[in-house]
Every structure is written in C-alpha cells, then in structure tokens.
Amino acid sequence: MKMTPKEFVEFLVFKHNVKGFVVGFNYKFGYKNLGNVELLRELQNEYGYELYVMEPCKYNDEIISSTRIRKSLEDGDVLDASKMLSLPYTLSGEVVHGKKIGRTIGFPTVNLKYNENIILPKIGVYYTNVKVNNKMYKGITSVGNNPTIEENKKLTVETYILEFNKEIYGEQIELSFIKRIRDEQKFNDLEKLKDQLEKDKSFARNEN
C-alpha cells in the first residue's frame, strides 16, 4: 500500500520474475489505488509481461460485485445471490444444543454455531439443502430471534431436516440457502407454530 504503482510492478517483475498479470477490468493497486489497468497496459512493453484483463460478469444487465451479492443476501433474495455466485450461498459450522422446543411439536431442529463475521441472509424462513456426513437432505431453516418461544438477542440459525432423525451434536454440517419461504412470525401458541411448520415442510418437500 505504500509502494507507488510503478514500484509495485517493478517489485513483482524484478524480484519475483513475474511474466504475466491477470486482473479485473476495474483493478486498482499501489499507493492510494493510483494504479489501474491503463497503467499496466502502458508499462507492458517496458517490462515485457503479458496482461490479461477479465471483462465484467453481468447478471440482469448489471455488473456482479460483492456489494451487490451482499445486498441480495441482506434483502433475503438468496435465489438472486446464488445466480450471481453460480452456486447457493452456504454456511458451515458445528451443531450445538438449543432449547429443544421444536421436538415437543414434532419438529426437532439442529442449531448451527456460525462464524459471527459472516453475512447471514435476512431474518426469515428458507428452504435449504443440508449436507450431513456427505449426504444431502432437504431442510427448513429459520434465521431469527425465535419470537414465539423466547426472543433471543443473538440471531440463531435453526434447521428442521426432512426425513432425518439422528443426533448430530458436535458434528459439522453445511446449509445451502435455496429459496426464501416467508418472513419470521410470532405465533400466539405452539400449535399455530406447528401448523405453519407443516406448511413450510410441504413447501420444502415439493421443491426440486
């Protein structure tokens, strides 16, 4: 960051014998980001390296960027995010103990211990694919505060895995967010929550 752009190019070419650069169309480098693709083109003949500039990838006629993907996730549009990423947005982590309320209404969930530095999709309920011991299952994942049971200050990521009844505490799983089902809701009682979960289950079961 303290090198001028030209010093940086010289450092790579003379110190590390670099013969080529592959950069994005809007690449910036060097002190105060003063270096750019145009400068790399200008220095190409002088230093004898090859230059490959990657053209922008677009989705819906707009350039794909990390900012745009992040906004889709924050808006809960995991389908759009997956199209820009070329694969579903996925979280991985350890299964930890929760309040175990779900099992009392026939919907036992696994609670994911996630890295708090990563982006969570917008609060809500999602259809997910769940990878457990290299096997894929359909799941209903809630990202939220559990308002019906006891509202948590910290967001929890809880998943009901369809056609699955094993204890997997301490194991690593992967959650791939496929489609948003609905917003988080606060129900008056557990019976109404169970009725909604049955609808969510039916939604997930009918997804490809």
| Kind plus residue range of the DSSP H or E element containing 112 | strand 110-113
In this prediction, residue 67 carries a pLDDT of: 95
The structural domain count of the chain equals 2
Q: What is the pTM of this model?
A: 0.81
| 11 inside domain | yes
The reply to whether 122 and 28 lie within a common domain is no
In this prediction, residue 154 carries a pLDDT of: 80
The reply to whether 49 and 98 lie within a common domain is no
| 78 inside domain | no
In this prediction, residue 150 carries a pLDDT of: 65
pLDDT along the chain (208 residues), means of 10: 96 97 96 97 96 95 95 97 97 89 84 92 97 96 81 83 92 97 89 92 90
In this prediction, residue 66 carries a pLDDT of: 93
In this prediction, residue 116 carries a pLDDT of: 86
